[in-house]
Structure 1
Amino acid sequence: MKTIQLALLGIIISAGAILDSPKKKSVQNNTFFREYKDTVLQNKYSTIIMGRFIENDTTVILKEYDKKNGKQCLNTIIYIEPNKNSIYYKEIAQPIFLHSGHGQYDLDAWRKYRLEKQKTPLSNIDLSGLPTDWIPLHSYKNHYYVFKPCEIDVPFRRCLTDSTLAYYSMEFYFNAIQKLEKKSNSLYHIELESQDESSLSPTQIYIHIIDRQKKVAIWEYRKENNSEYELMIPIESAKYFDMLVCHTFMDKFFYVKLLKFDEIDFKTLLKQKTL
């Protein structure tokens, strides 16, 4: 009988029901990661800890403590939010005009201003299936994330209407679309109205779709022989990626540059047409 009990115990252990120590939590693509954390700043005002470590079932990237009344108090935390039903995913998936609460009002005021200044009438543009609302996609430690910042994400959120490209950064910036052309299933060209002769803003935008399913796109801004790039996704595609959330408890300001996103090799992405 004792022999049988020992044999059963061995089967249970080998099946993983009894473990000597808990496994590390898995993140994207079920790959395991090594927990680590380092104190990257410590002075009489603040302590900042960065790394990748588990606290209360949450994968933490950064914690900032500020000294208040002689005590260290948590001011900022940056963590990975994998729950696609969280309030942050619901917020980021809102169309830009709903997200801001005053977008349509600002757009109507801008159109009225154009009429008063007798500017060229806005064109009625066919978007040719191009998604309307876009948010940035970031790479951090070789994984792609959407980002819920303490304040404003960069590159800015944006929205296409049938006549306008609108950028949002606490307030709206509107550009009139003169032409939108679908050159292929993976390439769109937008020509914006030039602000004035001295404007440095590019008027030529090429949107390269590099992932058909997730609609991941590289926005290329061309001016003369120079190009600048941004990695963007439609708001509907946020569900395909985990989210980095930056949350502040006391002070609104946080030096977010401490969270350094990866430099993206856009030219390689454009060649391989995939993330």
Structure 2
Amino acid sequence: MKYQIFGSVLLLTILLSLNVCSAQERRYPFEELKPDCVCPDMEWNNRGHLELKDISQSVHDLEIRLDVHAKWNNRMIIQIIKNAGKYEGYFYHKRTESFYTPEKDSIIKYKGKWEKYNFKKFRLTDVNLDSVVKVLMAHQITTLPYQNQIYKKGFLSPYFIRYKIDGKTRSFQFGSPEGPMREFPDEPVYRHYDAILKTLFKMVDPMYAQVWKDVQLQQEKEERDTIFLKKPNAEGHSVYIDKNWKESPYFARLTSLDYTNTDKAYLVDIKALQKHKKAERQPIDLGELPRNWIRLHMYKGKFYLYSPSNGSPLRIALNDSTMIVNEMERTVDLVNNVEQTSKYVYSVNVTNFKGQSYMFQIHLIDPARGIAVFENTFEKGWYSLMVTAEQAHRFPLVINYTPNHMEPEFVFDTPDFKELLSNEQ
């Protein structure tokens, strides 16, 4: 029986290899599953990512899936379905870099907002899926255990088999079988895991190769067209100027005003500040002073926005009662008074959560482009270039791209604030 099973795998491999060889130069068409796609088999999960519905919700007569959650920037699903005696197969692939968002109150409201890559859905057309299912059944997918039931050492477990067969649904999870096969050569379970992976991966190898060939070509084009301030290292970390920053999700996040929302944390901060409020007063009139500001940087005489490695650019919002500062964390101060001391200079008096009052200045050094110098905002002698959120689109965006972990922040030039203020309009 063992030789019969592995003979089936060998025969299938040969047939698939013939298909692959004859199609090495062809392009495999795919559908990109965008956030607004009409995809009956998909749903938004509780982390805000578009995924196939749980196998328990399958509407197909038969469904078998291999789910792959890999740490090397791959999210893959191989799906075989059968309805009214007819098989269909699909390969889903998505790169897995994503953008963190703290909002979790409504998945629908924020769906897709922070996900950089969409699934590519390929249809499997060159495979006898009936034979594939017979091979998978011969390798006991309906009875194989979770690997942790028989292997007591720690292991990475990116592979999930999920299926609906004869109306019953089940799943099991396992890791790469190569190590356990060497360690326990007489244990057939690991050989079954191995054969299942080889059978399914063989079907999608050419599509997987196409995906990463496209990625490589795109990266090579971007490198030719990109101005790098720090070229990519072995881990992919780089610092570059985004030429299409206005369409960039980094720019969208940088200019987002979500941090100014009146949420529960904001109300808690306001309540804590009330004890420092001396008396009831009218809302502060900001006049023509812009409300929302983003930190601006200078490099080799030019102005740039910056998306830092830590994901927390400095942003400041003023309203008729509070100043909200968002960087590594959000803080809220009371605004006591705003005074226009000259045509382009404003003096702002605030009280922080400790009850300490202080004053800082906003110098509008280029009102037409929304550029200002903030002086003494957090301590005496502190200066920073800022730009209004409305005018931020005027300035290129420098991205500190860190796909794996935080990296040191890029060091910009220190502006000559004395000169900038001396040229104050």
TM-score bracket, shorter-length normalisation: 0.5 to 0.7
Q: Is the 8 A contact 1:158 1:167 kept in 2?
A: yes
The whole-number CA distance in structure 2 between the counterparts of 1:194 and 1:244 is 32
Whether 1:188 aligns to 2:188 is: no
Question: Cα–Cα, structure 1 residues 151 and 196, in superposed 2: closer, same or farther, change >3 Å?
Answer: closer
Whether 1:179 aligns to 2:337 is: yes
> How many Å apart are 1:193 and its aligned residue?
2.1
The whole-number CA distance in structure 2 between the counterparts of 1:169 and 1:231 is 15
Q: Is the 8 A contact 2:260 2:317 kept in 1?
A: no
Partner residue of 1:205 out of 347, 360, 368: 360
Whether 1:60 aligns to 2:228 is: yes
SS of residue in 2 equivalent to 1:150: coil
> How many Å apart are 1:261 and its aligned residue?
0.8
> How many Å apart are 1:153 and its aligned residue?
4.9
Whether 1:92 aligns to 2:92 is: no
> How many Å apart are 1:141 and its aligned residue?
2.2
> How many Å apart are 1:132 and its aligned residue?
1.3
| Greater Cα offset, 54-63 or 238-247 | 54-63
Counterpart of 1:42? none
The letter for the 1-side match of 2:252 is K
Q: Is the 8 A contact 2:309 2:408 kept in 1?
A: no
The whole-number CA distance in structure 2 between the counterparts of 1:196 and 1:148 is 30
Question: Cα–Cα, structure 1 residues 203 and 128, in superposed 2: closer, same or farther, change >3 Å?
Answer: same
Question: Deviation per CA, 1:30-59, whole angstroms, max 9, x where unpaired?
Answer: xxxxxxxxxxxxxxxxxxxxxxxx823111
The whole-number CA distance in structure 2 between the counterparts of 1:101 and 1:205 is 21
The whole-number CA distance in structure 1 between the counterparts of 2:291 and 2:363 is 15
The whole-number CA distance in structure 1 between the counterparts of 2:278 and 2:260 is 28
Give the alignment of 1:89-238 within 5 angstroms. 89-95=251-257, 98=258, 100=259, 104-115=263-274, 117=275, 119-120=277-278, 123=281, 124-153=283-312, 156-193=314-351, 203-221=358-376, 227-238=381-392
Partner residue of 2:418 out of 267, 271, 274: 267
Count of residue pairs brought into register by the alignment: 202
Partner residue of 1:254 out of 392, 395, 407: 407
The whole-number CA distance in structure 2 between the counterparts of 1:153 and 1:248 is 13
The whole-number CA distance in structure 1 between the counterparts of 2:377 and 2:268 is 29
Question: Cα–Cα, structure 1 residues 179 and 249, in superposed 2: closer, same or farther, change >3 Å?
Answer: same
Question: Cα–Cα, structure 1 residues 105 and 210, in superposed 2: closer, same or farther, change >3 Å?
Answer: same
> How many Å apart are 1:220 and its aligned residue?
1.2
Question: Cα–Cα, structure 1 residues 192 and 78, in superposed 2: closer, same or farther, change >3 Å?
Answer: same
Question: Cα–Cα, structure 1 residues 195 and 250, in superposed 2: closer, same or farther, change >3 Å?
Answer: closer
SS of residue in 1 equivalent to 2:263: helix
The whole-number CA distance in structure 1 between the counterparts of 2:238 and 2:359 is 39
The letter for the 1-side match of 2:376 is Y
Whether 1:82 aligns to 2:231 is: no
Gap runs ≥5 in structure 1: 1-53, 66-71
Give the alignment of 1:22-41 within 5 angstroms. none
TM-score (normalised: structure 2)? 0.43
Question: Cα–Cα, structure 1 residues 114 and 269, in superposed 2: closer, same or farther, change >3 Å?
Answer: closer
The whole-number CA distance in structure 2 between the counterparts of 1:88 and 1:196 is 34
Q: Is the 8 A contact 1:166 1:172 kept in 2?
A: yes
> How many Å apart are 1:228 and its aligned residue?
2.5
Q: Is the 8 A contact 1:122 1:163 kept in 2?
A: no
Question: Deviation per CA, 1:219-250, whole angstroms, max 9, x where unpaired?
Answer: 111899x5321111111111111110111112
The letter for the 2-side match of 1:78 is V
TM-score (normalised: structure 1)? 0.65
The letter for the 2-side match of 1:212 is P
- Which one has a larger percent helix, Structure 1 or Structure 2? 2
> How many Å apart are 1:157 and its aligned residue?
1.1
SS of residue in 2 equivalent to 1:92: helix
Question: Deviation per CA, 1:152-192, whole angstroms, max 9, x where unpaired?
Answer: 456x2111121111111242111111111122331111111
